[in-house]
Every structure is written in C-alpha cells, then in structure tokens.
A and B are shown apart, each in its own frame.
Chain A
Amino acid sequence: MKQPFEKVVTEHGATVLRVCRAVVGPTDADDAWSETFLAAMRAYPELPADANLEAWLVTIAYRKAIDLLRARRRRATPVDEVPEKASSEIGGTYDSDVWMYVKDLPDKQRQVIAYHYLAGLPYADIAGILGGTSEAARRAASDGIAALRRHLADAQSKGNNR
C-alpha cells in the first residue's frame, strides 16, 4: 500500500536536500529540492508500490539539480565567474568551499559521492541506479574523495600563503 506523500517528504526531505547541495551548492539547493518534490508528487500515484523510494527520489533530485546547474551556467557570463571566486576567498573556510569542488568533479564521481556520502545509499543500490558494479561505484567514490582532498589542501595552502 502506498504511503501518504507527506511521509515521503518527512522521511527523505533531508536526504534530497543533501544531494541537491552536492550539485548546486547550499543556496540553490532549496530550489532544486522544491523542483524534486513537485516532480515526485506529480508522478507519485503512478509509482509502483514496491519501488525503492529513496533511490527514486535521489535520482530525481540529482537530475533536477543538474538541470538547475546547467541553467545557471548558461545564464552566467564570464564576468559572473569572478564574484563567485572572490566570495569564496572572502568567506574562504576549508568547509564552505567543498561543494565548489564537488560540482566540478567528473559526472560519475560527483554522482556516486552525492548518492553514497550525502544520501547514504549503499554501493549496491547505486550500482542499481547507474548500472555497472558496486566495485566500480566504490572506486569512483574513492577517486572523487581523493580529488576533493587534493583541491581542499591546495586551496588551504594558497589561503595560508596570502
């Protein structure tokens, strides 16, 4: 039997927000969250009762967030790139920058990191969504994490040298 949609929102709202943040960052994540749950609510009556709700939602969330990111990039002129960098230097803590590097990861690494570390999905479920093996998903995640650590370390040493 299908649960009231309210239950879907309360149980998975935070997870969906985390996935959106991984792709579009903390500010635009709210818009991606709204788009995700609107689309999910529209489709919900037709969803098979035995579907994996969390996997379904994070897939929608990732797609909606990517759409939003692409729309933002299309609108952004080269001039717009400058304040983005500047603000990261001003606000520049090690922590708040992480999403800027997550969003520039290769698609697969970013997606696996969003699903595993931010949504909490096991690698087996991720392999089910993306195709391929659990092992490949795990490898993409660890490559992504290594790249992120490198970027963050670079950024920190640059900041310290200033």
Chain B
Amino acid sequence: MSPNTGEPNVPAMFTPLTTVAPGVLEKLHVALENAAGREGILDVTYRTIDTPVGTLLLAATEKGVIRVAYDSEDHAVVLEGLAATLSPRILHAPGRLDAVAREIDEYFARRRTRFDVPLDLSLTTGFRRSVLEHLPQIAYGHTQSYADVARTVGNPKAARAVGSACATNPLPVVIPCHRVVRGDGTLGGYVGGPAAKSALLDLETAAA
C-alpha cells in the first residue's frame, strides 16, 4: 500500500507534460512582467548589479528607484520588507531597471558624477527625508560633516539625527550619504560598512 502523501510515482506517459524545456519559464516570466505592467499591477520591480562594493539590489516603483541595498543588508530580507511596506506584487524585472543600472555602472567607471534617474523617496519621511533631499547637493568628491548638514537643513542641533537619516538612507550610492563624515575628519558609520564608504570616497577623489 503506497502512502497517502509525498511525491507521486509519475507514470512515464506524462513525461511530455512534465518536462519543461530550458528557457520556457524565463520566456513566460518576461511575458508576465509585460502583462502585469500593462495592467498596472506590477507595483515593485527589482534586479541586482555587480559593483566594486559588492552586489547591489535595485528596486523601483512606477515613480522611480525606491531602494538600493548592499549585500550585507540581505537582499531577501529587503525584498520581504518591501513586500510588507509597499506591496507584495514584486517581480524580478531587470529590463525595467536598465537606466539606473547603467548610471551606477558609469558612476563606478568614473564617467558619472550625479544620478539623473527619477527617485521615489516614499520610504522616508519628515526630517530624515529633508536630509536625504539635501545630500545630492554635496558635490562629487567633497564631504560635509554631520553638523554641517544639520545646519544646512536648518536644525543645527540635529547632527545625531542627520547620522540616523544617513544610516537609514534607502538609496545609498545614488543618494550620497557616503559624503557625510565626522567633524574630526574620520569616516563615521555607513550602511554598506566602512570599507564601502572609503571605497566610494576614494573613487570620487581619484576621479575629481
């Protein structure tokens, strides 16, 4: 008597129905991305990109790029977070993130000093958001201290809050929180780790 559960012993006559040729599901996936996009139910798309500071996860909504994540943040966990806070209608759709991937490639090749793709800042609000909106104004190859940034955004006593705004930047690299350092010239923390922060600053200094 065979058990009630577990994988059935599939008769050979079903082989033509059960065999999925290589590439078939990939093709169907692309068609699904397009159809879901047309229907307006593709809420979040993502891809990864290899860079000198590791593999970055890039995620976007219809409005723009909403998240860049380092390996150390665990991409699966980041995607689960986006599913919980934004929408679980998330698909891996590399083609839809070509523009930002190209700009990041150019940035690491020292052929780009600012990002032009539309951004979606809706993962951040209030003071943190105003800090992030200011950061692109710190010129490529330059740095500002946490206290400087606090003064610029009109809240001189908020250096510590600037630090946490940088630490929770949902768009590292693209929004240059790596250009914010301590008043004594030491690096300070970074979401991608200190090595990534100094790598980005070195890259910009060498190019500038």
- Does A45 lie within 8 Å of B88, measured CB to CB? yes
Q: Does A64 contact B (CB under 8 A)?
A: no
- Does A118 lie within 8 Å of B6, measured CB to CB? no
- Does B18 lie within 8 Å of A118, measured CB to CB? yes
- Does A21 lie within 8 Å of B17, measured CB to CB? yes
- Does B83 lie within 8 Å of A2, measured CB to CB? yes
Q: Does A62 contact B (CB under 8 A)?
A: no
Count of A-B contacts judged by CB separation below 8 Å: 106
Mask, A1-37, CB within 8 Å of B = 1, is 1111110010001100110011000100010011001
Mask, A64-101, CB within 8 Å of B = 1, is 00000000000000000000000000000011101100
Mask, B31-51, CB within 8 Å of A = 1, is 110011001011010100000
- Does A124 lie within 8 Å of B89, measured CB to CB? no
Q: Return A158 CB to nearest CB of chain B, in Å.
A: 17
Which residue in B14, B39, B80 is a CB contact (below 8 Å) of A42? Answer: B39
Chain B residue at minimal CB-CB distance from A152: B13
Known: A9-B29, A18-B18, A37-B32. A3 touches B4 (CB 8 A): no
Known: A99-B17, A118-B18, A134-B4. A45 touches B25 (CB 8 A): no
- Does B88 lie within 8 Å of A122, measured CB to CB? no
**B16 to chain A: which residues have CB within 8 Å?**
26, 95-96, 98-99
Please measure, in the bound complex, the distance between the C-alpha atom of A37 and the C-alpha atom of B39, giving whole angstroms: 13
Q: Does A139 contact B (CB under 8 A)?
A: no
Known: A1-B84, A45-B88. A98 touches B28 (CB 8 A): no
Number of interface residues, chain A, beta carbon within 8 A: 41
- Does A18 lie within 8 Å of B91, measured CB to CB? no
- Does A3 lie within 8 Å of B83, measured CB to CB? yes
- Does B18 lie within 8 Å of A4, measured CB to CB? no
- Does B13 lie within 8 Å of A95, measured CB to CB? yes
Chain A residue at minimal CB-CB distance from B84: A1
Q: List 10 A-B contacts (CB under 8 A).
A: A3-B80, A3-B83, A4-B82, A4-B90, A5-B89, A13-B28, A34-B32, A117-B10, A117-B11, A118-B10
Which 5 A-B residue pairings sit nearest by Cβ, starting from the closest? A4-B90, A122-B5, A2-B88, A21-B17, A95-B16
**Chain B residues within CB distance 8 Å of chain A:** 4-8, 10-11, 13-18, 20, 24-25, 28-29, 31-32, 35-36, 39, 41-42, 44, 46, 79-80, 82-84, 87-92
**Chain A residues within CB distance 8 Å of chain B:** 1-6, 9, 13-14, 17-18, 21-22, 26, 30, 33-34, 37-38, 41-42, 44-45, 94-96, 98-99, 102, 116-118, 120, 122-124, 134, 145, 148-149, 152
Given contacts A44-B88, A102-B17, A118-B18, could you give 16 more A-B pairs where the C-beta distance is less than 8 Å? A4-B88, A4-B90, A6-B46, A9-B32, A13-B28, A41-B41, A41-B42, A41-B89, A96-B16, A98-B13, A98-B14, A98-B17, A116-B8, A117-B8, A122-B5, A148-B13
